[in-house]
Structure formats: C-alpha cells, structure tokens
Amino acid sequence: MPLLKDHRPRVLVPEKLSSDGLALLRTSLDVDEQKGLSADDLLQIIPNYDALLVRSETKVTATILRAARRLKVVARAGVGVDNVDVEEATKLGIVVVNSPSGNIGAAAEHTIALMMAMARKIPEGCASLKAGKWERSQFVGIEVKGKTLAIIGLGKVGLTVARLAKGLGMTVNALDPYASPAVAASASVTLVTSLSELLASADFLTIHTPLIASTRGMIAETELAQMKPGARILNVARGGTIDESALLAALESGQLAGAAIDVFTSEPPTPETTAARLIAHPRAVVTPHLGASTVEAQENVSVDVCEQVVEILKGSLPRSAVNAPLILPEEYHKLQPFVRLVEKLGSFYTQHYVASPGGSMARNTFDLIYQGEVASINNTKPLFAALIKGLLSPISSAEGININIVNAELVARERGVFVSEQHSRDPADHSSYSSLVTLVARPPSRASSQAPGVSDSSTGTPSTQHQRIISGTCSGDRLLITRLGRFEASFEPEGTLLICENYDSPGKIGVVGSILGHEGVNINFMTVAPVSVKLSAVGSTDPKHGRDDTIDSSIQDDPGSKEALMILGVDRGVSLHVTADLVKEGGILSASAVTL
C-alpha cells in the first residue's frame, strides 16, 4: 500500500508501548494511542484501523478480527500470542507478528531475580523493615550455589536462565523434548527424559514453556508430590501451566518452601479466587506479569514490531510472522527484491494477458521458474504468495481479501490457480543475468488435467496467444523485465506502461505517439523489443523439483515473424478506448496498458 500523506494507514495502540517504536510509526502512519478500551469499545472502532498493536492485555478475539475490515496486521509487542485468535486471523488473511527475542533477557533476569528474592526472603525482609521492625532472625535464607535448578522448556528464555544459573554455581537439569542436545551440552545443562526424574532432582523448579495443550496443568498435585519436601517453584512463563489450587495446597502443607509467580490463569486475578489466595500466601513471592517489563525489553519489542508493521503496510515481508512461514533473517534481504519482482510478473501477466481487451484467465496453471542464483533459495513460499497476489490483485476488488504469505495457498486453491515451481542452478541460455525468474502460463490443453472445467476462451491479446511468458531479473533493488512473450525486452516494471505489438515497419511509433498525444497522454520513455530467442533451456534440471516439457513445446521460435514490441512508459492510465483505437490502426496487432 503506498503511504500517501492523505491516506495514511491508521494504527491502533490500546496498551502501553515504548515510544521508540511508536515514533517510527508516526513518520508514515497515523497512530492512535487509546488505553483502557473495553472489548465493546474495541469492537466499535476496530473497523477504522489497518494495524493493531497489543501486548498481553488486549484480547484480540475472532469477533474483533471479523469486524476489522481494513486490518492487515496484528502486532504483539512481546512473545506470547495467546491473547490473539491466530487461527481466525489466518483465515482472514491478517498477518500476526510478534517479537520473539526482544524480551528474552528481561524474562530470564526476572526469573533469576524472583529465585534470589525467594531464596533470601527479600520481599518479607523489606516489608518488615518498612513496617518499622528489625527482625533479622526471621529472614534466614538459603544459597543457590550448589543447588539444582530444574527447567521445563529449554527454549530461548529457559536456556538464558540456565546460563545465568550456571554463573551462580547451580547444577542445571532440563526437560524439553524438542531441545537440541548439542545446545544443552554447550550450556552445561543435563537433559533428562522424564518429568519424574526432573522433579525429583529439583531444589528449584522453573517453567519456560508456552501454554499449550501439553503444558496446561502439567504441574499439579501428583507432580508437586514428586518434588523434594521444601523445594521451591517458579513460573515466569504462563499462568495455567501450574495448577493454582495444587500449588496453594503444597504451600499450605509445607511440601513447598516457596513459590515465585509472575503469571496467573486470569490476569488481573479476580478477588476471592484461588489465585488471589495464592498471591496472599506469606511464602509466595509474586509480581504482576513483570517478566518483560524493563526499559530495554520494551524498547526492543516496540521497535521490532513497529518496523514490521511499517513493512507489512508497505506490502513487504514481515520477519516474524506467527501465522506464516518463517523467513530467516539472512534470507530476508535475498528474498525481498524477488518477492517484488514475482508480484510484478503476476500483476503484469493478468493486466496484459487477462484483463486487457480480448484477454481471459483461461490459463490457470503456471510454471514459475527460478534460474541462476535465485534457484538456491529454498524457502520460496513468499515468492509463491507474491505470485498469487500479483495474479489476483488486478482482478480483485480493493476491499477484497488480502492476499499474503499467510493465506496465499488457500486463496490459490479456492481460485483454482496451480503453480509449479521449478529450480535450475544454471543460468538461462542467452542470458547474462545471474538470476532469472520466468512465469509461463501453460496452454489449457496441457493444464486440463489439473484444472477441470476450465476451457480456453482466449482470443489472445497479443497475436501469439501460445506464448504467455514473462521473465524478469533484479539487480540490487532495480527490477527488469527481460522477456515478454516471444520478445526479448529490457524495461523496468514501474508506473503505467503501454505494450503494443506491431508489424516491424516504419511509421508505427508516429501513429502511437499521435493517438496518445490526442488523449493528452505523455510518453516518458519508449523501448522496442525484438523477437526473442527460443526458450529450450528454461526449466529445471534439478531432479528434486521435477520437470516436464511444457515450456519447450509451448514456446517456439518463429524466425519468419516481422513483429516487434513497443513498450512506452506513460504519465497516466490509458483507457480501453485508447488501446482499442490503437489496434484499429493498420499494423498495430495488440495494445494493452499495465500499471505496476
């Protein structure tokens, strides 16, 4: 979406977010900070926004998402997205992004702080002294050095806690079925294979998993009974992983010497509930979900998600989409230009071959061929999504569903569009480009087995209706179309372009110039494309990706042809009657206008 000043996308921020990120947003977007909204308030105003930025307090329910007609992105300034209905967002094509790393250090340090506070009875000593007492003998603690810390969940936070605990001289055991043994070994953590074994070893037990089906209530009465009498427990992950009633009972019975809890099943906890009694227990050290609440972490997550919001609203790739294939940061810069290129190839295809007079969508099976360096990209899902977006956007209403990397496969299936991606590490014959991407629409007869019910009603905009093919390349940020149908081209796919196929005879440029001039359309540049070489080398030689002979048989040279292609960059949209007038002129075989 172009970030025009008059139509600046609007972002709603209903929670406290660090100003560093918001300042980033304000340069190109309208930012509304509205704290204390009720669910109903949010429902009323959400249709006015393109992006929603939240922490853990705002419940982004299916109802909210369905009402959010303009919403492109929900950004969670933190890790956990359990307050966002990600499934519904996915269905609606709304990207959900988070900041998976911005607050790891803060959460890990908070865990250690709670452990030390609990071990040395700091909250109790502090409260007693503030109450005017001097009760040194009441607050004798224990040391953590030499004790065993048992960790459930050796992910980003768990591993950081492990490293800090090793620095304190603790023995660290961990349970995580998905943890890498090599990573655990590098942090001197002993991985155990059963929860019972882990529980029996713990002087301190700390949980660092998400709240998912397998972790909900994973520490309950039975598990607490397996711990050493007088052990201590921590939860800086998610409320609900520890059964609060069982935890309260274990504190009351003395089975546990202490509990340090930052997260609760319901936040804020309702008065008179088990959580409220747990909070009031004298041997519970509690904080109101402060794990991520450091200046540094809030700056990190705010800047991280705000950058992503700007990118998404510009139509670029998010780096941490929760409901999309993860794009590795090192792949990001490599992919970005090709994503733009492939989207333009798709959009060009539809505008030139389908949406122009005489065009049709009859060809719904495409080969997307990566040649040269681009073929080494393994994660091509963003490119696939870009193609679907490019192909369908010119024929979808602006209010229609967003097509993005989240829902592209679903949309393609629904529209009956099939794409076969092919990789070839060898540069194309006749090509001096290090990377080449080619889009080929298969002729209907060949596609018929995959596209039942689709018939070719094409009258073929260009004279060569069997050669629906577009190639392009990138050089840095610069995109170039290198082939269009049978023609070898060299033009940037930017702005409005008029594509005219004509007999290669004198006077054609003058005819086109005069008709455009009459309509007040200025020509910014013009390039002529000669008939191209044949494409026998196009296609995969990589056995992994398979290959058929579709392209060779559909694209053939016509050495006798006297046709040429004129590409004119013009300063405004060219209406259909102008392209029709052009075709009426002798020697102009087809004319179409595309805006990219």
What is the pattern of x (binds ligand NAD, CB under 6 A) and - over residues 165-194? ----------xxxxx---------------
Please say if 423 is a catalytic residue: no
Using the contact rule CB under 6 A, the part of the chain among 291-299, 356-364, 502-510, 514-522 near ligand 3PG is 291-299
- Asked if 443 is part of the footprint of ligand 3PG (rule: CB under 6 A), the reply reads no
d(CA 84, CA 9): 21
Output the smallest distance, CB 244 to ligand NAD, in A. Answer: 16
CB-wise, 15 or 409, nearer to ligand 3PG? Answer: 15
d(CA 389, CA 407): 10
Q: Closest-CB residue for ligand NAD?
A: 155
Output the smallest distance, CB 186 to ligand NAD, in A. Answer: 15
- Asked if 292 is part of the footprint of ligand NAD (rule: CB under 6 A), the reply reads yes
Output the smallest distance, CB 497 to ligand NAD, in A. Answer: 47
CB-wise, 107 or 248, nearer to ligand 3PG? Answer: 107
CB-wise, 113 or 237, nearer to ligand NAD? Answer: 237
- The answer to whether residues 460 and 372 touch, using CB atoms and an 8 Å cutoff, is no
Please say if 501 is a catalytic residue: no
Question: Which entry of 76, 238, 423, 483 is annotated as an active-site residue?
Answer: 238
d(CA 518, CA 500): 17
- Asked if 55 is part of the footprint of ligand 3PG (rule: CB under 6 A), the reply reads yes
Torsion of CA 72, 76, 81, 83, to 10 degrees: -90
> Which of ligand NAD, ligand 3PG, none does residue 214 bind to, with CB < 5 to 8 Å depending on kind?
ligand NAD
> Which of ligand 3PG, ligand NAD, none does residue 55 bind to, with CB < 5 to 8 Å depending on kind?
ligand 3PG
CB-wise, 82 or 542, nearer to ligand NAD? Answer: 82
Report DSSP letters for 243-299, one per residue. Answer: -HHHHHHHHHHTSEEEEEES--SSSSPPTTSHHHHHHH-TTEEE-SS-TT-SHHHHH
Position among 75, 149, 152, 368 found at the interface with ligand NAD (CB under 6 A): 152
73: closest CA among 301, 381, 311? Answer: 311
Position among 97, 292, 355, 386 found at the interface with ligand 3PG (CB under 6 A): 292
97 by DSSP, 3-state: which?
Answer: strand
Please say if 289 is a catalytic residue: yes
d(CA 48, CA 68): 8
- Asked if 485 is part of the footprint of ligand 3PG (rule: CB under 6 A), the reply reads no
- Asked if 236 is part of the footprint of ligand NAD (rule: CB under 6 A), the reply reads yes
Look-up: residue for tokens 């250690």?
Answer: 112
Position among 12, 25, 29, 56 found at the interface with ligand 3PG (CB under 6 A): 56
d(CA 579, CA 394): 18
CB-wise, 27 or 214, nearer to ligand NAD? Answer: 214
Backbone angles phi, psi at 524, to 5 degrees: -85, -40
Tokens of 555: 């694209």
What is the pattern of x (binds ligand 3PG, CB under 6 A) and - over residues 76-115? -xxxx----------------------x------------
Using the contact rule CB under 6 A, the part of the chain among 1-9, 288-296, 367-375, 534-542 near ligand 3PG is 288-296
User: CA geometry: angle at 590 spanning 428 and 445, to 5°?
Assistant: 60
- The answer to whether residues 497 and 490 touch, using CB atoms and an 8 Å cutoff, is no
- Asked if 208 is part of the footprint of ligand NAD (rule: CB under 6 A), the reply reads yes
- The answer to whether residues 235 and 263 touch, using CB atoms and an 8 Å cutoff, is yes
Question: Which entry of 15, 33, 197, 267 is annotated as an active-site residue?
Answer: 267
What is the C-alpha radius of gyration for the chain, rounded to an integer number of angstroms?
Answer: 31
Look-up: residue for tokens 């992994």?
Answer: 544
3-state secondary structure 21-33: HHHHHHCCCEEEE
CB-wise, 105 or 493, nearer to ligand NAD? Answer: 105
- Return the beta strands (E) in 256-408 as ranges: 256-261, 284-286, 365-372
- Residue 401 CA neighbour count, 13 Å, CB half: 22
Position among 112, 149, 170, 263 found at the interface with ligand NAD (CB under 6 A): 263
Using the contact rule CB under 6 A, the part of the chain among 148-156, 331-339, 453-461, 485-493 near ligand NAD is 148-156
- The answer to whether residues 195 and 201 touch, using CB atoms and an 8 Å cutoff, is no
Position among 206, 209, 502, 540 found at the interface with ligand NAD (CB under 6 A): 209
Residue 264 buriedness (CB in 10 A; 0-12 / 13-18 / 19+): buried
- Asked if 237 is part of the footprint of ligand NAD (rule: CB under 6 A), the reply reads yes
Applying CB under 6 A, the residues found at the interface with ligand NAD are 79-80, 103-104, 107, 152-158, 175-179, 208-210, 214-215, 236-238, 262-263, 289, 291-292
Applying CB under 6 A, the residues found at the interface with ligand 3PG are 55-56, 77-80, 103, 289, 291-293
Annotated active-site positions, please?
A: 238, 267, 289
